[in-house]
């Protein structure tokens, strides 16, 4: 289905995740973050940039452990910046589907 | 989200084997990742997973474990548990799952409170210093229920 986010029309799934990560733009990220009640700071952007880069290389968004281990962002910081489910929320804002897997 | 979505869980970890401890850790970590409040309570042999000297050396049970598909007498042979443990550790690494120490750190950093059971601590004659630093406190069963107010309780 198509949805209007921050004045831009994009395809999203039933949970509001972008259907195609290639449609992602920074303006969309700001809009998606607002939906999650998050105002994006420089710290948020650094994590989003990592997810974009890692996601482009692997085809899926990294999980929390990967964002911490490979990206170098401490777990505590992730939970503070994206309260109530950091991997899911950060992936959504970065234009990816939520990470699969149990860790 | 529906109104009956889980908001809080309390997990009891009572098993002292490698295969017995992962479910509790995966549940606690997964809950936090979903924004669910979580408490981990270690009791009896489960304490091994938070004992600083023991947590890096947890073993797979090869005796009394039908899931291993090894006859009990064979499972009891010297080195069988070490072999099974080695195989499982390799599997865990291949799946890119964290080891016990890293997992406990992750869970603690994710905001899950970790406690040790007082009755078991007394029984095994342990002290607060024997535990890894992520353990917040040694608490009684009464404290456990108090901290679990409004939570779903999961026994593993």
Does B144 reside within a domain? yes
- Structural domain including B39 reads 8-59+99-151
Q: What is the pLDDT of residues B64-110, one digit of tens each?
A: 888 888 888 888 999 999 999 999 899 888 888 899 999 999 999 99
By C-alpha distance, the chain A residue nearest B32 is A85
Q: What is the pLDDT of residues A34-79, one digit of tens each?
A: 999 999 999 999 999 999 999 999 999 999 999 999 999 999 999 9
How far apart, in Å, are the Cα atoms of A34 and each of A80, B43, B92? 16, 43, 38
Catalytic residues of A: 102
- A102 vs B26, B35, B106: nearest CB: B26
pLDDT band per the 50, 70, 90 thresholds, residue B2: low
Does B69 reside within a domain? no
pLDDT band per the 50, 70, 90 thresholds, residue A33: very high
Does B125 reside within a domain? yes
Q: Which two tokens stand for residue A74?
A: 């401490």
What's the full length of chain B, in residues? 156
Does B133 reside within a domain? yes
> Min CA distance, A70 vs chain B (Å)?
13
pLDDT at B138: 97
By C-alpha distance, the chain A residue nearest B37 is A84
Does B64 reside within a domain? no
Q: Which CATH number is B117's domain given?
A: 3.40.1260.10
How far apart, in Å, are the Cα atoms of B154 and each of A5, A85, B6, B112? 40, 21, 12, 15
By C-alpha distance, the chain A residue nearest B29 is A103
Query: What is the Cα–Cα distance from B46 to B154, expressed in whole angstroms?
Result: 14
Query: What is the Cα–Cα distance from B150 to B81, expressed in whole angstroms?
Result: 40
Between chains, do B106 and A64 touch, taking CB under 8 Å as contact?
Answer: yes
- Average pLDDT of chain B is 93
Does B75 reside within a domain? no
- Domains of chain A, by residue range, sit at 2-93
- A103 vs B35, B98, B111: nearest CB: B98
pLDDT at B68: 84
Q: What is the pLDDT of residues B5-49, one digit of tens each?
A: 999 999 999 999 999 999 999 999 999 999 999 999 999 999 999
Between chains, do A88 and B34 touch, taking CB under 8 Å as contact?
Answer: yes
pLDDT at B1: 52
pLDDT at B71: 87
Q: How many domains does chain B have?
A: 1
Token pair 């072999």 in the structure block, residue: B83
CA dihedral B155, B20, B97, B136 (to 10 degrees): 60
Q: For B95, phi and psi rounded to 5 degrees?
A: -75, -5
pLDDT at B107: 97
Does B119 reside within a domain? yes
Strand-pair category, A8-11 with A2-5: antiparallel
| Mean pLDDT computed over A78-92 | 94
Pairs of residues, one from chain A and one from chain B, whose beta carbons lie less than 8 Å apart: 35
Q: ipTM score here?
A: 0.87
Does B30 reside within a domain? yes
């Amino acid at each position: 289905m198509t949805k209007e986010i921050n004045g831009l029309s994009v395809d999203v799934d039933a949970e509001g995740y972008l259907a195609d990560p290639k449609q992602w733009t920074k303006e969309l990220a700001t809009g998606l973050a607002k939906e999650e009640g998050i105002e994006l700071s420089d710290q948020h952007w650094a994590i989003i940039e990592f997810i974009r880069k890692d996601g482009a290389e692997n085809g899926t968004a990294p999980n929390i452990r990967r964002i911490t281990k490979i990206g170098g962002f401490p777990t505590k910081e992730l939970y503070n910046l994206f309260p109530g489910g950091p991997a899911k929320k950060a992936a959504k804002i970065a234009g990816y589907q939520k990470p699969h897997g149990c860790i | 989200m529906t109104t009956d979505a889980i908001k809080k869980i309390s997990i009891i970890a009572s098993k002292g084997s490698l295969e017995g401890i992962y479910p509790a850790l995966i549940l606690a970590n997964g809950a936090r990742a979903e924004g669910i409040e979580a408490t981990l309570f270690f009791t009896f042999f489960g304490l091994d997973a938070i004992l600083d000297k023991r947590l890096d050396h947890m073993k797979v049970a090869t005796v009394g474990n039908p899931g291993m598909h090894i006859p009990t007498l064979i499972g009891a042979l010297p080195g069988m548990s070490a072999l099974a443990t080695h195989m499982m550790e390799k599997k865990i690494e291949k799946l890119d799952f964290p080891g016990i120490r890293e997992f406990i750190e992750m869970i603690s950093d994710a905001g899950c409170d970790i406690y040790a059971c007082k009755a078991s601590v007394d029984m095994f004659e342990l002290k607060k210093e024997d535990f890894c630093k992520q353990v917040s406190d040694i608490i009684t069963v009464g404290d456990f229920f108090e901290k679990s107010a409004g939570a779903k309780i999961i026994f593993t």
